[in-house]
Amino acid sequence: MSASGPEPLSYAQAGVSLQAADAIVERVRAAVASTRTPRVLGDLGGFAGLVSAGGYRDPVLVAGTDGVGTKLLLQREAGRLRDSGIDLVGMCVNDVLTCGAEPALFLDYIAVGRLDPERAADVVEGVAAGCRDAGCALLGGETAELPDMYGPDDLDLAGFALGIVERDAIIDGSAVAAGDAVIGLAASGVHANGFTLVRRLLERAGLGPGDAPGDLLAPTRIYARASAGLRAACDVRAMAHITGGGLPGNLPRVLPAGLGARVDEGRWQAPAVFAWLAGLGVERGEMRRVFNGGIGFAAVVPAGEAPVAIEACHAAGCEAWQVGEIVPGEGVEYQQEP
């Protein structure tokens, strides 16, 4: 301490680097610009992002938020933080799609203990890639360096998606009827749910992500183009994002009271990673409750339109199958054991 008072203390000495934050903005400027859509007003750098809702007769805003969960720990260790940005978009945007909305904008929040511009930029560039796939704008975000809350290598992510749908085009499941077809859209893999169990299985077996068949850390598939294709091609009565809880925990959420689904696991080919995880010591019922099982998104259409729906998904670059039917009852029942 000097004679006149305490020694000067800077923000950097306290653990927060403003210079690193500025470096991130410059690094990701081109990535953010690559997601710009005609709806975006203004440029990067303001306090808030602006997007127009013009072109709709009676627009309804549809919002969703999510994170990547503990998959982020494996992605960090594997040097795949760019993929975590894609996961972040997928987990949020896929929720918004279920109402029939068109994704309009995305916001991200990155919290770290120590700000590494390269790592943070990797995440944002992944977010931008996901936004391009979803057809929405990365309108803004926040990177927070919080040394007193996180360890030096820790980071966490949150995302926020906003979509727009005409009020009379909202898909809410109310038109679903017994006999309708359940269309399952292929997952890219485990997506971003169940990784606390995955990590425990790997630790117990002394294995790493690279020991799995295929890509255990494959980023979440974004279903924006497939969803739009389905809505244009046929009468989509309900859509569900198959996340934690699997088909049993998610498909019933969009069905009217008194209706359930019967699905047949023999109708689709799940990625080999699911059988591999089960072989590490997970019972079949638990696999169904925790993981997507190879179906990352589902749609309900009239039975006669199932072939058209499947073709629309294929045209959008996503494999799909009729995996089941709507039946009287509640929940999801499995018709055939694999």
CA angle, 196 then 133 then 31, to 5°? 95
Last residue of a domain, one of 149, 169, 189: 169
pLDDT tens, residue order, the chain (338 aa): 455 678 886 667 667 666 777 776 777 788 888 999 998 887 766 788 888 888 999 999 999 999 999 999 999 999 999 999 999 999 999 999 999 999 999 999 999 999 998 999 999 999 999 999 999 999 988 899 999 999 999 999 999 999 999 999 999 999 999 999 999 999 999 999 999 999 999 999 999 999 999 999 999 999 999 999 999 999 999 999 999 999 999 999 999 999 999 999 999 999 999 999 999 999 999 999 999 999 999 999 999 999 999 999 999 999 999 999 999 999 999 986 54
User: Is residue 140 within 8 Å of residue 49, measured between CB atoms?
Assistant: yes
- Of 223, 292, 299, 293, the closest CA to residue 261 belongs to 299
- Return the amino acid letter for 1: M
Look up the domain containing 217 and give its range.
181-334
Number of domains the chain contains: 2
For residues 309 and 259, membership in a common domain is answered with yes
Assigned token pair, 62: 């549809």
Last residue of a domain, one of 144, 169, 194: 169
